[in-house]
Amino acid sequence: MIYLTRRERFNSAHRLFCPELTDQENYEIYGKCSNPNWHGHNYELFVTVKGEVDAKLGYAANLSSISKIIKEQVIEKVDHKNLNLEVDFLKDMVTSTENLAISIWRELEDHIKILGVDLHCVKVVETENNYVEYYG
Ligand code: NI
């Protein structure tokens, strides 16, 4: 079994908040991340797949195919977008890094399988100090 990782990047705006709470209550929970006027991040997305190395081809999966899937299923939907307002697969969710990783996993899983490998990990880096890894 071998693990293969592709990195992609995207820039997005968002706000952490629960709609049923007041701005003040949201501020107490999420701090400045609850700013009603949004804020942005330069996200990094690491997608790791696992599989066997094809003896003839020497790879587990074609990295350009993996990149194409990530771009079509995720990057084009989130890059330079407002995650709260413009992304169907995050609709009605708190746009936390945790929910982002779980939602991206769901967007990718079936498409990655078609390449003959399995999704192993979706890692979303929100800032240089914070990241989330989701293993399904
Ligand atoms: Ni944020």
Please state, in angstroms and as integers, the Cα–Cα distance from residue 127 to each residue in 41, 43, 120, 124, 133, following that order: 7, 7, 22, 9, 14
Residue 111 a catalytic site member:
no
Q: Residue 68: its pLDDT value, please?
A: 98
Residue 39 a catalytic site member:
no
Tens of pLDDT, residue by residue over 99-108, are 999 999 999 9
Tens of pLDDT, residue by residue over 27-69, are 999 999 999 999 999 999 999 999 999 999 999 999 999 999 9
The answer to whether the beta carbons of residues 70 and 123 sit under 8 Å apart is: no
Residue 120 a catalytic site member:
no
Q: Residue 84: its pLDDT value, please?
A: 97
**Percent of the chain whose pLDDT exceeds 90:** 100
Mean pLDDT of the region 94-123 = 98
Write down the catalytic residue from 33, 44, 86, 109: 33
pTM for this entry: 0.95
